[in-house]
Chain A
Amino acid sequence: MSLLSLALSLVFLVLSFLAPNTLAAFLGLGALGAAAFARLEPRVRTLNLTLLTLAFTLFLRNSGNTLGLIGLVGILVALTTLPRIPRWIRVVLGLAILLLSVPIAGFANTFIFELGIQIGIYAAMALGLNVVVGMAGLLDLGYAAFFAVGAYTWAIFGSPQAGKFLQGNFPLPGEYMYLFMFIAVVTTAITGLLIGLPALRLRGDYLAIVTLGLGEVVRILANNLDHPINITNGPQGITPVGRPPIDWFRSLMGTLGVRLDETTDYQLFFYLLVLVMIGLVVLANVNLANSRFGRAWVAIREDEIAAQAMGIPLLPTKLIAFMTGAAFSGVMGVIYAAQRTFVSPSPSPSWPPSPSWPW
């Protein structure tokens, strides 16, 4: 069994040099499945995963086939979930995939950068949602509304749009994006307060449906606030949204020996920025979980009435959870707006123009 799965990985490694095509990718995914699900010795499994990481990286570099990215994400999942892999292997392989494999693949096929950034943004949002749903047990189906509020916060001021209803010199220069990441924390937290104040008096299913409805309200507002005052520019969306200047990043990468061109420089920058944000969000999550509030949230999730009896003020504590989650989402919204340079009420221009799920 061990030999067979190792042989599969080696065959894929060879194929990634000789014939990096779709068929080879499926073979690689099969090898990954074997490495993850077959009964293997921990040592063989670790070796296998290392081999596969190398093979998928080479495969992506030689072909740029996005199926390879699925393999890399699969390895990340395997590294975090499978038992009895030494911790340092998990860390080293995980960092290698995030910091080396994905950028290498990105230079072969820039679409992989886009995917990587999108995956990272979703991951950071999911970590924010973990505060609301995971810790406090409040099922929030309107979470994307906060993402939209964050994205619009920067999009309006980072583009000529703000000049349509305010006096002043717009668009603001790109460096302001960093400032707006903090401003978005405030605006989304206020939105969270506004939505949460009525919604959080409800429980369970009712909370879910009300947040879903209010999320939809935000979408309707974004769609229609182009009159009487043009704030959001309606269904056309806002473009171009400013990006921060990254000369320092280019020269830094230059000294590290990474050659960048006009498209990959911003993509690599935003990819690394998203990774940094994920790191910060994880740090915040872990610290919150062990804080006074984190414990109160868990208590509310487990039993509201018991928590209340223990002296936890229900509404304020839930509101803080709601606002914290919203703030995480809002920051990622700013990054999203800057990276895409385009914000509109629907996720993409090809998206059905009719009502759809708001997250």
Chain B
Amino acid sequence: MLEQILVLLPQVLFDGFILGFIYAMIALGYTMVYGVLELINFAHSEIFMIGAVAGVEVFRYLAPLIPNGYLLLAVAVVVGAAVAGLTAILVERMAYRPLRRRGTTNRLVPLVTAIGVSFFLQDLVRLIEGLWHNEFFLRMRTIEDLEGAFTLFGGAIFIQTKSVIVIVVSVLMLWGLTYLVNRTKLGMAIRAVAQDLSTASLMGINPDQIISRTFLIGGALGGVAGVLFALIYTTINPYVGFLPGIKAFTAAVLGGIGNIPGAMLGGLVLGQLENFFGTYLPILTAGNFGTEYKDVVAFLILIFILLFRPQGLLGQMVKEKV
């Protein structure tokens, strides 16, 4: 059994990284919104799903026009990011901002609103896709250029070209986000709003505008993650966002919610753990408990983290004032 585990290990680690990068990109959307608004944006999983659907549609309609697969993917990523980002802004404008204006102090109200928005977006996409193509399951069109594969270390790791693309794109996005948040004026404004909204507005920052842009950036990242998700897993549907969304939130909590490097780290760690248990649970339990229980493991990790290190891996403990 040990030998079996060791033989699979390099492949498991590699696949875990791909899953981890996708979780990291979604988790950033959760963590940034939580940073500025202290709101769990449940609708973010649907923003991710909308990005994935946009990617599928671009592949469907532009594949005959654009012969180069890489160029097509680039277009899909841009379109996915734009559609998802704009949806995120719209959601903020139409659902969360009116609530903020009214000054509701009850934390449950925005949370339940977010759940409502999430339902609405799921079924809206289902309706649109139903009317447009009369399809529930959307299949990503396969493009020859992107279907290659090669092996490393004498066949120990099997790598698809797609996986390399996912890793390159997500590393670029994560690096870009880090640069944006730490080195630009907009990033400084976002950090200021996250630290203290009312003081930031005294310093000449328009909080509404910054919140809107935070939603745009988080949504765009989620959209890119969606396109990459659709590229790898090929079949999606309007309800596909729920599990990646809740696990990305787990990743954000794991890293320390509100903390941007934490969300990246949390995503990678959760991706590794989930892939690890998904592969090894059937081997370790002699087939009695299958891969399906990997989600259970993810949620148990969430509970343990929250119980024993509520501030997360990289977060700082905030003392509660009475």
Q: Which residues of A contact B (CB under 8 A)?
A: 133, 137, 139, 141, 198-199, 201-202, 204-206, 208-210, 212-214, 216-217, 220-221, 223-224, 227-228, 305, 352, 354-357
Chain A residues with Cβ below 8 Å from B250 are 209, 213
Interface-located stretch among B163-171, B193-201, B208-216, B303-311: B303-311
Q: Tell whether, in the assembled complex, residue B237 and residue A214 are in contact, meaning their CB atoms are under 8 Å apart.
A: no
Chain A residues with Cβ below 8 Å from B115 are 141
A128 to B253, CA, bound (A): 29
B107 at the interface (CB under 8 A from A): yes
Q: Is the interface of B mostly helix, strand, loop or mixed?
A: helix
Chain B residues with Cβ below 8 Å from A224 are 289-290, 292-293
Chain B residues with Cβ below 8 Å from A204 are 107
A214 to B243, CA, bound (A): 13
A47 to chain B, nearest CB (A): 36
Q: Tell whether, in the assembled complex, residue B111 and residue A139 are in contact, meaning their CB atoms are under 8 Å apart.
A: yes
Against A, the Cβ 8 Å flags (1 = close, 0 = not) of B291-322 are: 01101101100110011001000000000001
Give chain B interface residues in 237-261, CB to chain A under 8 Å. Answer: 237-240, 242-243, 246, 249-250, 253
**Closest chain B residue, CB of each to CB of A221:** B296
**Closest chain B residue, CB of each to CB of A223:** B292
Residue in A201, A205, A209, A223 whose Cβ sees the most chain B Cβ within 10 Å: A209
Chain A residues with Cβ below 8 Å from B295 are 216-217, 220
Chain B residues with Cβ below 8 Å from A354 are 237, 239-240
Chain A residues with Cβ below 8 Å from B293 are 220, 224
Q: Of B239, B249, B288, B299, which one neighbours A216 at CB under 8 angstroms? A: B299
Q: Which 9 A-B pairs have the closest CB atoms?
A: A213-B299, A355-B243, A228-B288, A224-B292, A355-B242, A352-B239, A356-B239, A205-B40, A217-B296
Chain A residues with Cβ below 8 Å from B119 are 357
Chain A residues with Cβ below 8 Å from B322 are 305
Q: Tell whether, in the assembled complex, residue B303 and residue A210 are in contact, meaning their CB atoms are under 8 Å apart.
A: yes
The 20 sampled A-B contact pairs (Cβ below 8 Å) are A133-B108, A137-B108, A139-B108, A199-B303, A204-B107, A206-B306, A209-B249, A209-B302, A210-B299, A213-B250, A213-B299, A213-B302, A220-B296, A221-B296, A224-B289, A227-B288, A354-B237, A354-B240, A355-B239, A355-B242
A209 to chain B, nearest CB (A): 6
A187 to B269, CA, bound (A): 35
Chain B residues with Cβ below 8 Å from A137 are 108
B136 at the interface (CB under 8 A from A): yes
